[in-house]
């Protein structure tokens, strides 16, 4: 039992350290640390997952899920507090039409980009699926398209990493890009919340 416990500890520690090492290496090479960790997770889930003990699989699943939840909560709390930063909005409000246009263009590009990625690939995937039940229906494609819009922590983290200088957004261009990103993220989250409430009401009405 002692050997198993120590083996699990070492395996989990190595998994975390390797992921952090990939992030540090990407930052040293001036690459995207977030995308590096993303692809590192894909590779580790494919190879590392099948070479660890069962205890490590269970522990790592719950540990990384907890880390992910805590990180998302922290990011969204930070976004909520930063959305009330009057100074940043004041710099951006000097050009209100620019702010509105940047938000509209950003949202349109995200919608078009997701559509250009999801629907063609779903069509190609359906060509190789013989059974009709295995094919991706159009409603499912719409759900996949909408679920990938920028309302997560990665969008905010990338925007802050790109358009902040020493933690400040007093440059008007940087302030506009940050506030535009926050606007799109908050808008998509609100729409998602409304959709959930509407779905719950429809289910409740059917049950009643």
Q: Would you state the pLDDT for residue 128?
A: 85
Are the C-beta atoms of 190 and 108 separated by less than 8 Å?
Answer: no
Banded model confidence at residue 41, pLDDT cuts 50, 70, 90: confident
Q: Which whole number is the average pLDDT over 7-26?
A: 86
Residue that has been written with the tokens 């799109």 in this structure? 184
**Residue 10 above 80 pLDDT?**
yes
Q: Which whole number is the average pLDDT over 94-114?
A: 81
Q: Report the range of poorest mean pLDDT among 24-38, 94-108, 194-208.
A: 194-208
Structural domains of the chain, count: 2
Residue among 163, 179, 182 at smallest CA distance from 90: 179
Q: Would you state the pLDDT for residue 166?
A: 58
Q: How far is CA 123 from CA 116, 146, 167, in A?
A: 11, 17, 44
Q: Would you state the pLDDT for residue 165?
A: 64
Q: Which of 51, 82, 113 is the last residue of a domain?
A: 82
Residues 132 and 154 in one domain: yes
Q: Which of 82, 108, 134 is the last residue of a domain?
A: 82
Q: What are the pLDDT digits (tens) for 147-166? A: 766 556 677 777 777 777 65
b/e sequence 163-173, b meaning 16+ C-beta within 10 Å? bbeeeebeeee
Q: Would you state the pLDDT for residue 153?
A: 65
Q: Which whole number is the average pLDDT over 123-144?
A: 83
Residue among 62, 60, 50, 46 at smallest CA distance from 9: 60
Residues 191 and 92 in one domain: yes
Banded model confidence at residue 169, pLDDT cuts 50, 70, 90: low
Report the predicted TM-score, pTM, of the whole model to 2 decimal places. Answer: 0.61
Q: Would you state the pLDDT for residue 208?
A: 66
Q: Would you state the pLDDT for residue 4?
A: 47
Q: How far apart are CA 125 and CA 162, in angstroms?
A: 35
Mean pLDDT over the full length of the chain = 78
Residues 92 and 195 in one domain: yes
Which carries the bigger pLDDT value, residue 31 or residue 154?
31
Residues 71 and 143 in one domain: no
Are the C-beta atoms of 40 and 25 separated by less than 8 Å?
Answer: no
Domain that holds residue 118: 86-208
Q: Which of 52, 82, 112 is the last residue of a domain?
A: 82
């Amino acid at each position: 039992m002692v050997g198993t416990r120590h083996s699990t500890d070492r395996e989990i520690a190595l998994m975390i350290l390797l992921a952090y090492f990939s992030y540090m290496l990407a930052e040293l090479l001036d690459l995207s640390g977030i995308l590096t960790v993303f692809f590192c997770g894909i590779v580790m889930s494919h190879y590392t997952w099948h070479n660890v003990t069962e205890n490590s699989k269970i522990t790592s699943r719950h540990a990384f899920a907890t880390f992910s939840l805590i990180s998302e909560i922290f990011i969204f709390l930070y976004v909520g507090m930063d959305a009330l930063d009057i100074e940043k909005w004041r710099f951006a409000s000097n050009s209100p039409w620019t702010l509105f246009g940047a938000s509209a263009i950003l949202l349109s590009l995200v919608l078009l980009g997701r559509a250009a990625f999801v629907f063609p690939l779903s069509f190609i995937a359906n060509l190789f699926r013989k059974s009709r039940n295995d094919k991706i229906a159009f409603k499912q494609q719409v759900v996949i398209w909408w679920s990938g819009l920028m309302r997560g922590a990665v969008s905010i983290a990338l925007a802050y990493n790109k358009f902040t200088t020493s933690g400040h957004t007093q440059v008007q261009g940087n302030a506009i890009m940050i506030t535009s990103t926050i606007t799109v993220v908050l808008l998509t989250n609100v729409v998602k919340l409304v959709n959930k409430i509407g779905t719950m009401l429809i289910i409740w009405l059917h049950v009643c």
